[in-house]
């Protein structure tokens, strides 16, 4: 039975996570296809380039909550099922089958995963993001450092399974931010509050 529950957690998490809220919300608002602007990404950062802060905020919230919801739903069965559901919600967001496996960069959904499986780690993520953003004014660097710290925070909390899942997610987040990393090294990455 536990194997079936974990399989169900993976399938549900992936399908729920693959809902492209950024794309759906921008189209519903009459803003066209968000993939045709900026980075072509479906996440909140690119949605913000439409000029609609409300739609971007809604995208951020929904992209986070789909991992939180998946983890909480399957957390009723076991902690392992919660981690699997949250991880696969993250994977669904990054690689949605409906969009040719081209989704977002996963930062919001990563936070949603942490909220669902170990909420203090989500607060640590947010604190690191905010501190880095305040100092550097780079959103991408903030996300990279916060994601790098998260598996260590979870290990310190004694949650090895969640730490392992977070480590996988961190690697994917870094790969998805490879172009940002190149720009950071070159000094050409756009800063928060400034257009580039």
Full 3-state SS string of 123-177: HHHHHHHHHHHHHHCCHHHHHHHHHHHHHHHHHHCCCHHHHHHHHHHHHHHHHHC
What is the per-residue pLDDT for 194? 62
CA angle in degrees (0–180, nearest 5) for 82-83-86:
85
Under DSSP, the state recorded for 95 is S
Predicted model pTM: 0.91
Residue 47 lies in a domain: yes
Residue 72 lies in a domain: yes
The encoded tokens of residue 150 equal 């998260």
What share of the chain has pLDDT > 90, as a percent?
Answer: 73
Q: How far is CA 163 from the centre of its chain?
A: 16
How many structural domains comprise the chain? 1
Residue 195 lies in a domain: no
Residue 196 lies in a domain: no
Residue 192 lies in a domain: no
What is the mean predicted confidence (pLDDT) over 173-182? 94
Distances (CA, A) of 192 to 43, 137, 140: 16, 5, 9
Residue 194 lies in a domain: no
Residue 193 lies in a domain: no
What is the per-residue pLDDT for 196? 42
The encoded tokens of residue 166 equal 């977070």
The encoded tokens of residue 1 equal 């039975």
State the Cα–Cα distance between residues 185 and 187, nearest whole angstrom.
5
Domain residue limits at 93? 2-97+106-186
What is the mean predicted confidence (pLDDT) over 98-119? 93
What is the per-residue pLDDT for 107? 94
What is the mean predicted confidence (pLDDT) over 97-105? 89
Residue 53 lies in a domain: yes
How many C-beta neighbours within 10 Å does residue 90 have? 32
34 versus 151: the higher-pLDDT residue is 151
Residue count of the chain: 196
First and final C-alpha spacing in the chain: 53
């Amino acid at each position: 039975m536990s194997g079936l529950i974990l399989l169900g957690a993976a399938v549900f998490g992936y399908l729920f996570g693959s809902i492209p809220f950024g794309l759906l919300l921008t189209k519903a608002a009459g803003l066209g296809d968000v993939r045709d602007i900026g980075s072509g990404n479906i996440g909140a950062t690119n949605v913000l380039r439409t000029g609609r802060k409300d739609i971007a905020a809604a995208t951020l919230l929904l992209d986070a909550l789909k991992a939180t919801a998946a983890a909480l739903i399957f957390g009723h069965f076991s902690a392992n099922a919660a981690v699997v559901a949250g991880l696969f919600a993250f994977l669904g967001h990054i690689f949605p089958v409906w969009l040719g496996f081209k989704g977002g960069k996963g930062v919001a959904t990563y936070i949603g995963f942490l909220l669902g499986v170990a909420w203090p780690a989500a607060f640590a993520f947010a604190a690191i993001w905010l501190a880095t953003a305040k100092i550097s004014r780079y959103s991408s660097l903030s996300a990279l450092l916060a994601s790098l710290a998260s598996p260590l925070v979870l290990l310190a909390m004694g949650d090895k399974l969640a730490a392992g899942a977070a480590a996988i997610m961190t690697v994917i987040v870094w790969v998805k931010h490879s172009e940002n990393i190149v720009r950071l090294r070159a000094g050409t990455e756009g800063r928060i509050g400034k257009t580039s």
